[in-house]
Chain A
Amino acid sequence: MNQQIRTIADLDRVIHEPGRLMIVALLFAVDRADFLYLQHETGINKGTLSSHLSRLEEAGYLAVTKTYRGKVPQTLLCLTGIGRKAFEQYRRKLKEAL
């Protein structure tokens, strides 16, 4: 039981937050996606989504590229190698804990 609790305590807090978990899981399955896609899939508002993305970028899990789609600005997002490894580890630990 102690081991289980320790495993739960060891979970990556950056990923464990529900909003960020959704973002990381969605990005894990693709090469890259834009801000609009994440907003559409998660249903999170622009401000909250931006703050989650900043937190993930600070942790080194996310790479952000600003570009243009025609004349419209576009924000492209992809998980870094560190981010992918962190998510894999998170899933493994979550499985162990459950």
Chain B
Amino acid sequence: MDQVGNLLERPRLYYNIDGLGELGGSVMCLGLGLLWWLLMRSPADSVWHRISFFVFVGLMLLIHYGIKTVKTRITYPRTGFVEYRRRRHTSAIAAVVGALATAGLAVAFRRHRDISTLVSLAGLVFAGAYGYNFARAVRWKLVIVGAMAVASFVIAFLPVDVLGALGSESPAHPDRAKLLGAILLSLTVYGTLLLISGGISLWLYLHHTQAPAQDGQ
């Protein structure tokens, strides 16, 4: 019976067989980190503040269509095409969690609460999710899970002045600067780890699969 359960899991694991899931996550983390950094370092009336929403939407579209294009050209001709079932409840849960996290951050910002340690430790949840979704099937990725967990602890316990310096040049709101610094550093570290892991996966995939034959099916 377990073997049937394993078979039912395989299509889900197939999504990241080429590492593109991780590379997409990496582009998102690093892109959001860069946008965040630009918004923090540029004056309030700069062009970045006016177009930030469009940059964000553009980044999401780039990830979505970029992955689709690469899969169509590389993955589907090599190891086959899969169209996944739409799971509305998963999207709804993700939207609710995202909305709650954003609302929590907004409240912490307004009330100048120091939740930077909490935000950094949320990286443990991220590491757990990564482990469950990607590292379960590919054992070497447990190293990445470990690195993510260690990075979360290190960021959580970094001195205030280090995170504050990353977060803002102005010392007017040290808690806010510390929080911004923790988010920026987390995005950069997780983005880099996903880039490394996704890059290795893609390289291994290309190395171990044959270029497509032209005889069709």
Contact = CB atoms under 8 A, between A and B. Distances in A.
Interface of A: 21-22, 25-26, 28-41, 69, 72-76, 91, 94-95, 98
B7 interface: yes
A31 B83 contact: yes
A22 B76 CA distance: 20
B79 interface: yes
Which of B4, B14, B212 counts the most chain A CB atoms within 10 A? B4
B66 interface: no
A34 B12 contact: no
Contact of A75 (B85, B215, B217): B217
Which of A25, A28, A75, A91 counts the most chain B CB atoms within 10 A? A25
B11 A30 contact: yes
Contacts of A94: 1, 4
Contact of A74 (B14, B81, B86): B81
Which of B8, B14, B77, B216 counts the most chain A CB atoms within 10 A? B216
Given A41-B14, A72-B216, A26 B7 contact: yes
B80 A34 contact: yes
B82 A73 contact: no
Contacts of A36: 76-77, 79-81, 217
Q: Is the interface of B mostly helix, strand, loop or mixed?
A: mixed
A1 B68 CA distance: 52
In which size bucket is the chain B interface? 20 to 34
A41 B17 CA distance: 12
Contact of A31 (B8, B14, B84, B212): B84
Given A21-B4, A36-B80, A40-B79, A29 B10 contact: yes
Contacts of A21: 4, 7
B190 to A, nearest CB: 28
B79 A33 contact: no
Given A21-B4, A36-B217, A26 B81 contact: no
B214 interface: yes
Which of A28, A30, A95 counts the most chain B CB atoms within 10 A? A30
